[in-house]
Amino acid sequence: MNSSQGLRPERKSGISVSVIKCDGCSLIYSNPQAIPFDIQDHYGIEPESYWEDDYFNAQSNYFNWQISRAKEFINFHEGMTALDIGAGIGKCMVALKNAGFITYGVEPSKLFWERAVANLVVEEGYLKLAKIEDVQFPPESFDFITFGAVLEHLYDPAEAIEKAIYWLKPDGIIQIEVPSSNWLIPKLVNFFYRIRGTRFVTNLSPMHEPYHMHEFHLTSFKRLAERLNFTIKESQYSVCKIYYFPTFFHPMLDWFMRKTSQGMQLTIWLGKDKKKSF
């Protein structure tokens, strides 16, 4: 099961894992998790084999709306600090730097890190080659921290958020973009699998690219806020790209997902809860 399942996954042979959904918070996760001996076994690949071609096209507006919203939250002024967790090839770091932030990053893939340093003029000292589990920063170092399409890849998302809150300044903001566990499309595909008498689901990809280990619901973050040092400032669902269905159905599906908050992506903005202490 180290590739896309297709319409008849029961005809394939291989190692599979259970996919669990929490009844309390709707978090979806694999159990057991497919954790490699070395992180490079998953992400030590050429960027071109991981991202689609259009990801490499120059985009002057890349990450613009997220930066604009973050600046509103933190009352931005020149010289504020930002941290991009899971920096990839450095596109977000460049956008943050161009927007006036003193920008740092963390990236575990050696090949992604090398591309960011070499091709996108990201200063080597500001981009750490490390997993978030292993990296350290002083407390209250950053005004803005972003997890853009990252948290779903981590083996302990709660630990990563806890570290980020520790690094966040008192009036700072954290932006998180994750796949939604309430996305309509997997529900429809999973229904198709069930009526054919199988127990397969299309959620997650723990055994193959892009190596998603979790999907999240707004309730997932609300429950986590009860025990960690953060407050949810804002949230929204986005439809994004529609997969698996003919383009004829896309306008109807897009409208329905927008009306029912069943889009593919959930964006959360977190602030440090000043009522709590570490």
Angle, vertex CA 150, rays to CA 84 and CA 5, nearest 5: 155
Q: What pLDDT, on a 0 to 100 scale, did the predictor assign at position 271?
A: 96
What number is the average pLDDT over the span 242-258?
92
pTM of the model: 0.92
Query: pLDDT over 70 for what percent of the chain?
Result: 95
38 pLDDT above the threshold of 50: yes
E strands, the chain, in order: 18-21, 28-31, 81-85, 102-107, 127-129, 142-148, 168-179, 214-215, 230-238, 265-272
| Spatial contact of 219 and 261, defined as CB atoms under 8 Å apart | no
Q: Provide the pLDDT for residue 12.
A: 81
The residue extents of the domains of the chain are 9-272
- List pLDDT tens digits, range 169-199: 999 999 999 999 999 999 999 999 999 899 9
- Give CATH superfamily name and number for 9-272: Vaccinia Virus protein VP39 (3.40.50.150)
What tokens appear for 38 in the block?
């070395």
pLDDT tens digits along 152-170: 999 999 999 999 999 999 9
Q: Decide: 130 and 40 in contact? Cβ < 8 Å.
A: no
| Token output for 139 | 């407390």
Residue 277 binned pLDDT confidence (cut-offs 50, 70, 90): very low
CA dihedral (251, 190, 215, 93) in degrees, to 10, reads -50
Q: Which two tokens stand for residue 82?
A: 């930002």
